[in-house]
């Protein structure tokens, strides 16, 4: 994991973009795998469900829309007096425009955006919020995504798709 992360970090040299892991880790090994990402030069997105509010597409649908989802997240923070950042996932430019109209979030996750749409999204956001590209980003295309100007790229493949080195020690 550290080696893979370090390869990605080196590919991003010269871009402002930082690489993030995801919560998709091996059961029981989350802290070790996230530590390995940090050793490799990457950043941890979040450790669990408790350290950031991430409003995913299904949360938006359940809340009855983007405005309601953002409002409910902010009401929760106020009610519980917690210091949490809010990130919201958007699936297209139309949803992004709704988020930009509402505001009250810290980061916008641009999920499944192709490169053209991602460039347009970064242009529309214009530095008002942190940006994160996610889904479908792998070592072979990570620099193309970074070139779009996003702040972060989250990559599940850092932890959930790696194969361990097959070693054995045989005693004579």
Bridge partners for 133 per DSSP? 110, 153
Q: CA-CA distance, 25 to 74, in Å (whole number)? A: 28
The angle, 0 to 180 degrees and rounded to 10, between the axes of the packed helices 93-102 and 115-125 is 10
Reference 112, options 96, 125, 100; nearest CA is 96
Residue 18 · residue 44 · CB < 8 Å:
no
- Which residues are annotated as catalytic? 24
């Amino acid at each position: 994991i550290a080696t893979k992360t370090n390869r990605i970090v080196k590919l991003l040299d010269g871009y402002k973009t930082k690489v993030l892991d995801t919560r998709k880790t091996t059961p029981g090994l989350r802290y070790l795998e996230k530590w390995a990402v940090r050793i490799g030069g990457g950043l941890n997105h979040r450790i669990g469900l408790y350290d950031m509010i991430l409003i995913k597409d299904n949360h938006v649908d359940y809340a009855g829309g983007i405005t309601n989802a953002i409002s409910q997240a902010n009401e929760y923070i106020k009610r519980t007096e917690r210091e949490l950042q809010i990130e919201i996932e958007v699936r297209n430019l139309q949803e992004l425009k709704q988020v930009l109209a509402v505001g009250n979030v810290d980061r916008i996750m641009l999920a499944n955006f192709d490169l053209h749409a991602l460039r347009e999204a970064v242009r529309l956001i214009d530095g008002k919020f942190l940006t994160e590209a996610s889904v479908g980003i792998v070592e072979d295309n990570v620099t193309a995504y970074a070139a779009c100007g996003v702040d972060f790229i989250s990559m599940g493949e850092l932890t959930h798709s790696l194969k361990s080195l097959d070693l054995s020690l045989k005693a004579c």
